[in-house]
């Protein structure tokens, strides 16, 4: 076996998995205001960006060859229904419009959920203290339509409500937005690895947790059933989230569908790599590169990672 491993040109010739800049998706946190670039303590190297600074980050991402952006918003106001989530004046809608207008060749994907917009931090509206799945669907559809109208190439529902892909697809089509795709967070687990994000997005639930609608980490078959339902409802692509702790699910899903698959290297995975490198446990670039390659090897066409722009620069 060593004959084809003995020199890099031979190893390059027979390499089976490749990571290229276009495989990477850069998340951005957009906030109200102007000239804002506020570092996020829980995510070293990641900042809250006003629309003007988000456009600059988008330009850097495109120059590095990154495949797409994924936008998250921190709104100017919150309420019980998360009504700022579908306002055309809020950061995600304004940033989407600005980036799509200035950089038409860089797809903008927008996260569709209510947790950053509700005063209680749940991913949907509450009834008797629990998320009302069916009442939330109409609101998520309004959010998706507002993002698509602003220029999003795909909307990405991360809420995990039953039936939300079908509801969003119907609303987009009814709004003459048939060209907007849906990247469904199909297998999103109730993971501890979202901690830094919740701090960054101010989206920690005021009470309880999200295990009533996010998946049990112990249940790969349940995850595959969820993904197949999203396909039936009209998803154009599927996401596994988190990534590295769920490569088995990613690999099994790859065998179940021909749809494009994305995997989200979430905030806790990012923070672990950064903390390990800072502690001298391993070389930062080598560890980030190996983790991203592993996610590709397990079957991801796209990797959503806070390292996207930097890692793309390493690959050019
Ligand atoms: O990087 C991350 O941790 C992503 C967190 C993720 C964003 N879609 C969700 C995690 C959560 O708080 O449940 C946000 C939910 N809409």
The 10s digit of each residue's pLDDT in 42-79 is: 999 999 999 999 999 999 999 999 999 999 999 999 99
Is pLDDT above 90 for 316?
Answer: no
- Residue 262 Cβ inside 6 Å of ligand 1? The answer reads no
Is pLDDT above 90 for 178?
Answer: yes
pLDDT of residue 208: 78
- Residue 269 Cβ inside 6 Å of ligand 1? The answer reads no
Structure confidence at residue 203 as a pLDDT band (50, 70, 90): confident
Structure confidence at residue 255 as a pLDDT band (50, 70, 90): very high
Separation between Cα atoms, residue 61 and residue 24, nearest integer Å: 10
At a CB cut-off of 8 Å and minimum separation 6, what does 176 contact? Answer: none
Separation between Cα atoms, residue 160 and residue 223, nearest integer Å: 11
Quick one: how far is CA 292 from the chain centroid?
15
Pairing relation of β-strands 302-305 and 261-265?
parallel
**In the numeric block, which tokens belong to residue 238?**
């599927």
Structure confidence at residue 41 as a pLDDT band (50, 70, 90): very high
Which residue has a Cα nearest atom 13 of ligand 1? 194
pTM: predicted TM-score of the whole model, two decimal places: 0.97
Is pLDDT above 90 for 196?
Answer: yes
Q: Ligand 1, closest atom to CA 159?
A: 16
Separation between Cα atoms, residue 276 and residue 283, nearest integer Å: 9
Q: What is the mean pLDDT of residues 150-171?
A: 97
Q: What is the mean pLDDT of residues 125-154?
A: 97
User: Could you count the other beta carbons within 10 Å of the beta carbon of residue 2?
Assistant: 5
CA of 112 to the centre of ligand 1 (A): 11
Residue owning tokens 């994000």:
197
Q: What is the mean pLDDT of residues 216-227?
A: 98
CA of 66 to the centre of ligand 1 (A): 21
Dmax (CA) of the chain: 66
Helix axes 284-297, 267-278, angle to 10 degrees: 150
Residue owning tokens 């390659």:
293
Burial of 91 (0-12, 13-18, 19+ CB in 10 A): buried
**In the numeric block, which tokens belong to residue 310?**
């930097």
- Residue 111 Cβ inside 6 Å of ligand 1? The answer reads yes
Q: What are phi and psi of 272, to 5 degrees?
A: -65, -45
Q: What is the mean pLDDT of residues 101-107?
A: 98
Separation between Cα atoms, residue 164 and residue 239, nearest integer Å: 15
Q: Is 216 helix (H, G, I), strand (E, B) or coil?
A: coil
CATH architecture of the domain with range 18-315: Alpha-Beta Barrel (3.20)
- Residue 198 Cβ inside 6 Å of ligand 1? The answer reads yes
Residues designated as active site: 188, 241
CA of 204 to the centre of ligand 1 (A): 10
Q: Peptide bond preceding 242: is omega within 30 degrees of 0, i.e. cis?
A: yes
CA of 194 to the centre of ligand 1 (A): 6
- Residue 169 Cβ inside 6 Å of ligand 1? The answer reads no
């Amino acid at each position: 076996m060593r004959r084809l491993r003995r020199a890099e040109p031979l190893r390059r010739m027979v390499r089976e998995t490749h990571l290229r800049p276009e495989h990477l998706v850069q998340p951005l946190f957009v906030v109200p205001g102007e000239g804002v670039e506020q570092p996020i303590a829980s995510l070293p190297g990641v900042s809250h960006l006003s629309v003007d600074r988000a456009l600059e980050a988008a330009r850097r991402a495109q120059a590095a060859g990154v495949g797409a952006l994924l936008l998250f918003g921190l709104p100017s106001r919150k309420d019980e229904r998360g009504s700022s989530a579908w306002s055309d004046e809020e950061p995600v809608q304004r940033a989407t419009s600005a980036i799509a207008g200035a950089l038409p060749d860089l797809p903008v994907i927008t996260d569709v959920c209510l947790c950053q917009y509700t005063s209680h931090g749940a991913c949907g509206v509450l009834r008797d203290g629990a998320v009302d799945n069916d009442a939330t669907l109409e609101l998520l559809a309004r959010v998706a339509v507002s993002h698509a109208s602003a220029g999003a190439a795909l909307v990405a529902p991360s809420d995990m409500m039953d039936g939300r892909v079908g509801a969003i697809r119907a609303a987009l089509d009814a709004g003459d937005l048939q060209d907007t795709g849906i990247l469904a967070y199909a297998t999103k687990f109730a993971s501890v690895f979202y901690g830094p994000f919740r701090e960054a997005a101010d989206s920690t639930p005021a009470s309880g947790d999200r295990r009533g609608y996010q998946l049990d980490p112990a249940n790969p078959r349940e995850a595959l059933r969820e993904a197949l339902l999203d396909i039936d409802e009209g998803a154009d692509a599927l996401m596994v989230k988190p990534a590295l702790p769920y490569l088995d699910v990613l690999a099994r899903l790859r065998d179940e569908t021909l749809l494009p698959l994305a995997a989200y290297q979430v905030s806790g995975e990012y923070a672990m790599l950064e903390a390990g490198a800072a502690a001298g446990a391993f070389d930062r670039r080598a560890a980030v590169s190996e983790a991203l390659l592993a996610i590709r090897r397990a079957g991801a066409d796209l990797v959503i990672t806070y390292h996207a722009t930097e890692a793309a620069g390493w690959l050019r």
